Structure 1
Amino acid sequence: MDGEVKHHRVRTNGIWMHVAEQGSTGPLVLLIHGFPELWFSWRHQMAHLSRHGYHVIAPDLRGYGETDAPTDPLSYSCFHIVGDIIGLIDHFEAQQVFVVGHDWGACVAWWLCQFRPDRVRALVNLAVPFFPRSPIKPSDVFKMFGEGFYINQFQEYGRAEKSFARYDVLTVMKKFLLLELKELNAPPGVEIIDFLETPLSLPPWITEEELQYFASKFHNSGFTGPFNYYRMMDMNWEFLAPWHGAKVFTPTKFIVGNKDVGFQSYGTEEFITSGAFKDLVPNLEVVIIDGHHFIQQERADKVTNEILSFLDSFPKDIV
């Protein structure tokens, strides 16, 4: 039935990718999750979009959930990840798709629009804007934030894996998915996972059972695959040199929570609101809503309606 979520494993770019699918007719919508998430992060959007005439697919990205997780960090480059996505689009025999990305999934979506703009009809990205390529490599930028900055701690192979392993996976999920901090920077000598607090109670937008679903998948897959996205940042910076200064011309709606740690820190709010962001993405609409980082879950109805209103502004006869 179209109302049910169907699960497949699709062969793409040399790996097996787990894909959740809802709906079977209408334009194809690809939902790309972030860290530390899964296809399940889009459960609310999948149900709503499929009811409104869209064919929705949400994969577990390379290294996550039930998708293959190569051990070599070099297998997590921007080209590998986008290659996985192109193979997935080809599997569903779509010439163009609507794309919705969040967090790392937003980064993947930006890359997709740079490398293969012919395959993207329109884009909705959440939380992470399109930043210009820095003149210096990311690791040199991140050093400015100190040793306690979470990305710096993720760089060393095995370090974050060891610190995360001190906690049960459900606690790890609660620490990250429910965070309300203004920065992800631990004090000197403290691991980021120790710095993050474990909430004593759950907010109304997520249940213990839903958190258990995330935890069960990460318990099996571990966190090395997700960490490898961070470990490839310098290499990706080198790979992206041919696109230095390039803009993204795909029609785009960008949605961000006003309490998002990424929005409130590192000059991101000013970048988004000053016009610098729109200069890089000329066909851009920005929506700032009340919420934190994981807004497609926290503010599911609002985000879904924003996505749907944007997608509905395009003809549905694309293939």
Structure 2
Amino acid sequence: MNEAIEHSHVEVNGVRLHLAEQGEGPLVLLLHGFPESWYSWRHQFAPLAAAGYRVVAPDQRGYARSSQPADADKYTLLHLVGDVTALIGALGAERAVVVGHDWGAPVAWATAALRPDLVRGVAGLSVPPLPIGGPPPLRAARENFGDGFYQLYFQEPGRADAELAADIKSSLRRILCGVQPDGVPRPWIVPEGKALLETVPEPEELPDWLTDADLDAFTADYARHGGQAFTGGLNWYRNLDRNAELLAAFTGVTVEVPALYVAGEQDLVNAMVPPEALAHLLGRLPRLHRHVRLPDTGHWTQQERPAEVTEALLDFLKSLDG
């Protein structure tokens, strides 16, 4: 087994992806979300590798040490699933277990739904298996949460990009530490006339799961893209309606491979997906192994509760190997 995380790059589908890798054995891909990178999985590498798995976490298209296509329409869900499927082949594997957090979860769910031949099992953290195809999601977001909903705020090219890139470390600190004063999760809403970061003030202190060194690691990776540090990730949001249009033929498809869902009870996603809707979405997983609910846990699941998330992943991986 490799003793340390190794770093490399691979060319797939016209983009250069940075990879962090440790261990040998069956392939496990870890897909990060926004605004994160491979580093969000730092706690999972060693224990998964020690259990006999080859753990690979890419910086996904547009993020951190990976290349950032200039055109916003190069970030559709089909592009992102294509990167994962190409990566499995580039790593010399026939199949993989695909694990995703935040935006990485929709990529993982869609990869499992569209290419079950390549996926041994799939795990989603924080974001349940949302429908593929269907009505334009931004219209529903506007109806449910208003024009200030963060996903709508992100649609204007350059606006959130400039605000977040002005001070990368401060932006990351605010977003990763952002909680409601009363601890009740709510949708991220930007009131009219306000800037994005005015809604997430600087924290007085860091939570126990995030250090200043962690923030420095994230910041160094994002700073490689300068004033476009967050543009690649924001472009994922700018394809939400396009994804629904492109994937209309797959509306109603279910995820037929073994699955795991893990989420924090204080996750802001809970404010957007009520219990009855979550039950319906999890119904798209006919081979659901477990639904793990983590108390006193927010959105940054594998960072906030590394031991519990790793335990859930190892239990799931063992069930696949058995």
**TM-score, normalised relative to structure 1:** 0.94
Could you tell me how far 1:174 is from its partner in structure 2? 0.8
* Per-residue Cα deviation, 1:9-58 (whole angstroms, up to 9, x for no partner): 101111111000001x2111000000000000001111110011111000
Q: Give the partner amino acid of 1:4.
A: A
CA distance in 2, matches of 1:311, 1:107: 20
Structure 2 match to 1:21: 21
Note if 1:81 corresponds to 2:80: yes
CA distance in 2, matches of 1:231, 1:47: 35
* Per-residue Cα deviation, 1:238-266 (whole angstroms, up to 9, x for no partner): 01101111111111110000000111x12
Paired residue total:
311
Task: Give identity over the alignment, percent.
Answer: 40
Structure 2 match to 1:212: 216
CA distance in 1, matches of 2:134, 2:42: 38
Q: Is the 8 A contact 2:165 2:230 kept in 1?
A: no
Could you tell me how far 1:187 is from its partner in structure 2? 1.9
CA distance in 2, matches of 1:245, 1:134: 8
CA distance in 1, matches of 2:193, 2:276: 31
Q: Is the 8 A contact 2:133 2:247 kept in 1?
A: no
Give the ranges of 4+ consecutive aligned residues of structure 1 lying more than 4 Å apart after TM superposition. none
Structure 2 match to 1:201: 205
Structure 2 match to 1:308: 314
Could you tell me how far 1:135 is from its partner in structure 2? 4.4
Q: Is the 8 A contact 1:10 1:17 kept in 2?
A: yes
Note if 1:253 corresponds to 2:260: yes
Candidates 284, 288, 292, aligned match of 1:287: 292
Note if 1:244 corresponds to 2:251: yes
Could you tell me how far 1:147 is from its partner in structure 2? 2.2
Question: Within 5 Å, which residues of 2 pair with 1:150-229?
Answer: 150-166=150-166, 168-181=167-180, 182=185, 183-221=187-225, 222-229=229-236
Unaligned runs of 5+ in 1: none
CA distance in 1, matches of 2:38, 2:275: 28
* Per-residue Cα deviation, 1:163-190 (whole angstroms, up to 9, x for no partner): 2244x11110111111223220122221
Note if 1:2 corresponds to 2:6: no
Q: Is the 8 A contact 2:262 2:291 kept in 1?
A: yes
* Per-residue Cα deviation, 1:116-174 (whole angstroms, up to 9, x for no partner): 111000111100001235742122112222222110110010111122244x1111011
Q: Is the 8 A contact 1:42 1:297 kept in 2?
A: yes
CA distance in 1, matches of 2:28, 2:261: 16
For the residue of structure 2 that corresponds to 1:136, the secondary structure is coil
Could you tell me how far 1:191 is from its partner in structure 2? 2.2
CA distance in 2, matches of 1:241, 1:270: 24
CA distance in 2, matches of 1:74, 1:142: 21
CA distance in 1, matches of 2:275, 2:51: 33
Q: Is the 8 A contact 2:258 2:287 kept in 1?
A: yes
Structure 1 match to 2:129: 130
Unaligned runs of 5+ in 2: none
Question: Within 5 Å, which residues of 2 pair with 1:271-282?
Answer: 271-272=277-278, 275-282=279-286
**TM-score, normalised relative to structure 2:** 0.93
For the residue of structure 2 that corresponds to 1:44, the secondary structure is coil
